Chains A and B, each alone.
Chain A
């Protein structure tokens, strides 16, 4: 039982490049979400999904796309990377909509855009 797995752990992109951050969970959780974490700040919600085929925007969605074709996977796509997207990205899953007790986070992807 791996929990929430994110890949890659580190990535450097050039401005304008695109890439996909992968997130997979093996707990059969309905709810998944992506956060970004910047120095001195808490986590800010980018996008979330309440089930396969259903996604919605969070607090900071601009520049990111998501899709949820299966319960297990919730990839985050950067369409045209910008230096402002340099951050640490966390994927989380939960079987509760509250994202509380049952929320599990991945280890994070540290992204640098140059």
Chain B
């Protein structure tokens, strides 16, 4: 079958570089955002989240930046490793409306060369 990764924007980096993956979200009422990582043949895995009352949140080697003015979200991965190669999805959610309004972006493929 066709891979999920085909036709996706692709970011190619060298091992050790910093990676920045961008996401434009659609709904100005969204107040909760999540980044997921999906490796080939696996289900999405939670990476980091951020609420709209914040503009930056840091995790282990990852940072999410939120710019509500232009409805833009980014995921920064420091010292990228070959194991970071995957498809990355952002998702947006509105308040307490739950699953019915969790909307996923189309994804970006990250390729890390050793």
Contact = CB atoms under 8 A, between A and B. Distances in A.
A100 B46 contact: yes
B102 interface: yes
Interface string B39-80: 001111110010000000000000000000000000000000
A42 B105 contact: yes
SS class, residues of chain B in contact with chain A: loop
A37 B93 CA distance: 18
Interface stretch (A13-21, A68-76, A101-109): A101-109
Interface string A25-45: 000000101000101111111
Contact of B98 (A97, A101, A105, A112): A97
A100 B101 CA distance: 12
B1 A110 contact: yes
The bracket for how many chain B residues form the interface is 20 to 34
Contact of A41 (B1, B44, B100, B106): B106
Given A48-B99, A56-B100, A103 B46 contact: yes
A112 B2 CA distance: 11
B34 to A, nearest CB: 5
Interface in A75-114: 86, 88, 90, 92, 97-101, 103-108, 110, 112
Contact of A88 (B4, B7, B34, B105): B4
Contacts of B96: 97-98
Given A39-B3, A100-B32, A112-B1, A105 B43 contact: yes
A45 B42 contact: no
Interface of A: 4, 31, 33, 37, 39-45, 48, 50, 56, 58, 86, 88, 90, 92, 97-101, 103-108, 110, 112
Interface of B: 1-4, 6-8, 32, 34, 41-46, 49, 89, 91, 93, 96, 98-100, 102-107
